[in-house]
Amino acid sequence: MPDGHREPARRCLAEPSFKLLCGALAAPLAAAPAYPVDTHATVRATLRYSDEQAVLFSKLTLMATTTQECTEVPAPHHWTLDEYHRAIDGEVFTDDCRIELLHGELFDMPPISEPHIGAVGYLTWLFFTQLGWQRASSQTPIILPSDGEPEPDVAVRELGAPSKPTVAQVQLVIEVSQTSRRRDLGSKLEDYLRDGLRELWIIDLVEQCALIYRNGQLVARYPRGVGARLSAELVPEVTVELDQVFEAARLPNA
């Protein structure tokens, strides 16, 4: 799936909440460029909004791929963390919408494959068993200073940190990568490293290897089948048998 792919906005935005979105974003969007008039008509017909709503709505990043009539795509709106949280609190997004905020942009999260579910399930069980819910979490947000709020597959936070920690309070992030591989190894990786994440593991289900990043640098690459045992510098009490992760994903040997 392309790095910037976004599902049509009608799948992610709840119609009754549109006025709440307008209230939250009217000021920062007022100066943003709008789509051509023909696109407004398409938006209005598709989403059943008024002319005024369609003009405002077309300025949102999520509308970038909803119509083919647009000949000039404006720069995406930069979402601050405050705007994003107000949109969530205002129930702007539908319950089944799977998006995450990275460097001020909203990205659709691709469907989760069965191998991904197996690998994440095993890692979640292992870390929760060893550390408990007070430190381990799975697919819950962490806050990045670059206006980002990714939801890593597994994260370990400092004891006493809030359930939605800042990146400075996170000791380890694990991303299992398959359908989201391009983004995991691209813009999301850059965001994690730039914003000071201390340790990141990427479990690459395509290449069947683990990439270990510490303090902004790639320090190791372990392929499947060599008996690698992974342990984070700040979480030494948990050891991960890498081959067992791939076995949990039920992937044949590459």
Residue 3 lies in a domain: no
In a shared domain, residues 82 and 164 = no
Per-residue pLDDT tens for 137-153? 999 999 999 999 999 99
Residue 169 lies in a domain: yes
Instruction: Look at residues 89, 108, 127 and tell me which one is the last residue of a structural domain.
Output: 108
Task: Tell me the C-alpha distance between 162 and 83, whole Å.
Answer: 21
Per-residue pLDDT tens for 53-68? 444 454 454 444 444 4
Is the whole model's pTM more than 0.85, yes or no?
Answer: no
β-sheet bridge partners, residue 176: 203
Residue 129 lies in a domain: yes
Per-residue pLDDT tens for 218-253? 999 999 999 999 999 999 999 999 999 999 999 887
In a shared domain, residues 120 and 223 = yes
Query: pLDDT value at position 238?
Result: 98
Give every CB contact of residue 135 below 8 A, 6+ residues apart in sequence: 156, 157, 158, 159
Instruction: Look at residues 81, 108, 135 and tell me which one is the last residue of a structural domain.
Output: 108
Residue 253 lies in a domain: no
Query: What percent of the chain is modeled with pLDDT above 70?
Result: 70
Q: Domain limits at 165?
A: 114-248
Dihedral pair phi/psi, residue 14, rounded to 5°: -80, 125
Instruction: Look at residues 83, 108, 133 and tell me which one is the last residue of a structural domain.
Output: 108
- Cβ(151)–Cβ(133) under 8 Å? no
In a shared domain, residues 56 and 139 = no
CATH assignment at residue 200: 3.90.1570.10
In a shared domain, residues 30 and 58 = yes
